[in-house]
Structure 1
Amino acid sequence: MKPNLPQLQSARLILRRPTREDVDVRLALGRHKEIVEAYGGTFDPDAPFTREHAEAAIRYIEEQEYAWVIDAGRFIGHVRFHSIDRQDKRAALAIGIDDPAFLGRGYGTEAIRLALTHAFSTGLHRISLRVLASNTRAIACYRKCGFVEEGREREAAFVNGGWEDDIIMGVLDREFGQS
């Protein structure tokens, strides 16, 4: 059973559950090289992005236990927690901004801070994530939110025909308020 997630709001955005309208927006956004590669994928400029792809993307968010759409007047991406361990009071964070017009403008930082505030208010102690070492924009965002580098998995992701390292980052509840 999925928890009844609250809607979270900040100055510029709302974290909410997905709606049918999000499919049309996701379809219109299509795929972008920089974003696909930041996710660890290989961009194929000839691969179509269909309504079925958009529906699957929104359905994936719907099916996650702790996931929100990032809404800045409309769908721009999503943020979610996964690998939740209530015994050890920890979870992992994943975020994706699917609209290139919103990259590098602080929307990811704002969404993460909202999500972390909620997660820590539920009693979680630690949130971790992994990010490609080449994704310097995301790493800077995570640092702004209080995450620190905890390790590196060498050649952990095969992207565009080459190996990339994954950076492992984490933030503790007591550190979050200090960022």
Structure 2
Amino acid sequence: MTADLPELRSARLILRRPIPQDVETRLALGRHREIVEAYGGTFDPNATFTRGDAEAAIRFIEQQNCAWVIDAGSFVGHVRLHNIDRQDKRATLAIGIDNLAYLGKGYGAEAIKLVLGYAFGRGLHRVALRVLSSNSRAIACYRKCGFVEEGREREAALVNGAWQDDIVMGVLDREFDPS
């Protein structure tokens, strides 16, 4: 897995590297309570989402060795593999949908399945992730993609002043069903 990643395509989306227009799209999306809290952040309704914030978000994707923009006609989020361990043939997956209109409609699952196909097609044996226990929409999506709960880190994240558990999930190459 290298920085010269291929585009990955499904029926409704393209996973690709960032382009300059993504900054404008990300800026227009702004920041929403539901999404910020799903990431484990604290939402400040008085904070302005600036061009600098949008540039930083796109730059973060650009700087990752194995990350794609999720494009469903334009930028809607990103997905990445990190902590790639070639010896043990494993990696960690992270995904973020930043456009409220695309939540709960299967776009995340579509993107994840593309990335899992890519990862397992290049010899990885295992892909894991962490998710807040309160993020039931994401947990359902991950289960749909074949992930199973492997453990729980109790009170591992402080979100809006309250402790939440992190759920650790994983999927093995032999368990992955791309359909």
Residues 44-73 of structure 1, C-alpha deviations (whole Å, 9 max, x = no match): 000010000000000000000000000000
Would you say the 8 A contact 1:154–1:164 is kept in 2?
Answer: yes
Would you say the 8 A contact 1:31–1:49 is kept in 2?
Answer: yes
Structure 2's unaligned 5+ residue stretches are: none
- The aligned counterpart of 1:52 is 52
- RMSD of the TM alignment (CA)? 1.2
TM-score (norm 1): 0.98
Would you say the 8 A contact 1:16–1:68 is kept in 2?
Answer: yes
- The aligned counterpart of 2:100 is 100
| Matches of 1:55 and 1:19, distance apart in 2 | 11
Structure 1's unaligned 5+ residue stretches are: none
Would you say the 8 A contact 1:128–1:168 is kept in 2?
Answer: yes
Change (3 A) 1:102 1:85: same
**Which aligned runs of 4 or more in structure 1 are off by greater than 4 angstroms?**
none
- The aligned counterpart of 1:77 is 77
- Map 1:121-160 onto structure 2 (within 5 A): 121-160=121-160
TM-score (norm 2): 0.98
AA paired with 1:75?
Answer: F
Give SS of 2:62's match: helix
Would you say the 8 A contact 1:146–1:178 is kept in 2?
Answer: no
Would you say the 8 A contact 1:129–1:170 is kept in 2?
Answer: yes
- The aligned counterpart of 2:39 is 39
| Matches of 1:119 and 1:2, distance apart in 2 | 11
Aligned residues: 179
